[in-house]
Amino acid sequence: MEKIIHRYKGKGFKLTPQRLAILKFLEGNNEHPTADEIYTGLKNDYPTLSVATVYNTIETLRDRGEIAEVTIDPERKHFDPNTTPHHHIICMECKRIADIFEDYTSEIALPQEVVEEFSVAGNHIDFYGVCRECRG
C-alpha cells in the first residue's frame, strides 16, 4: 500500500481513489482477473466506480507496462500485476490460470530462417492442462 503510493507517485499518473483501489485489488493478486472481475470485486466498496474507469485504468497500466495482458484464454482478457516475464498454465475445465516462473528462453532457440526474418523481443508459453480439483 505504501509501496503502491510510492511507486506510482511519479509524474504523469495521478493516484486517484479509483486507481488506488484497482491497484490495491491487483497488487499481489495472482488470480489473473478479467476487467469484469475487477469491477465486481470493487463495486461494493466503491459504488460509484464505473466499468469505464476499470477499462481506462487497466489500459493505462498496460500501456505503461505496469500490468500485463494475458491472452491464454480465448474467451476474455485476463490481467496480471506481475510483469516479470513468466508463463502460464490454464485449466481447460475451470479456466483457472496459474503462474510458471521459469525462464525457458535459452531452451527455445528459434530456427535460423525465423531469426533472419524477425527481430525477436520476447516469448510467452501457454500450457494447457486440467487442475487437480477438476479431475475430482
- State the residues that interact with Mn ion by CB under 5 A: 80, 99
Q: Is 96 helix (H, G, I), strand (E, B) or coil?
A: coil
Our finding on whether 104 is near a copy of itself (CB under 8 A) is yes
Cβ pair 102, 65 in contact under 8 A: no
Minimum distance, C-beta of residue 123 to DNA, in the bound complex (Å): 22
Cα dist from 130 to 34, 72, 93, 100, whole Å: 20, 14, 6, 15
Q: Pick one of Zn ion, a copy of itself, DNA, none as the site partner of residue 105 (Cβ within 5 to 8 A by kind).
A: none
Note the residues at the interface with DNA (CB under 7 A). 11-19, 34-36, 46, 48-53, 55-57, 59-60, 75-77
Q: Which stretch binds Zn ion (CB under 5 A): 74-82, 84-92, 103-111, 119-127?
A: 84-92
> What's the CA gap between 106 and 26, in Å, rounded?
30
The distance of Cα 78 from the centroid of its chain, to the nearest Å, equals 6
Counting residues that bind a copy of itself (by CB under 8 A) gives 37
Q: Pick one of a copy of itself, Zn ion, DNA, none as the site partner of residue 24 (Cβ within 5 to 8 A by kind).
A: none
Our finding on whether 35 is near Zn ion (CB under 5 A) is no
Q: Pick one of DNA, Zn ion, Mn ion, none as the site partner of residue 75 (Cβ within 5 to 8 A by kind).
A: DNA
Centre a 10 Å sphere on the Cβ of residue 101 and count the other Cβ atoms it contains: 9
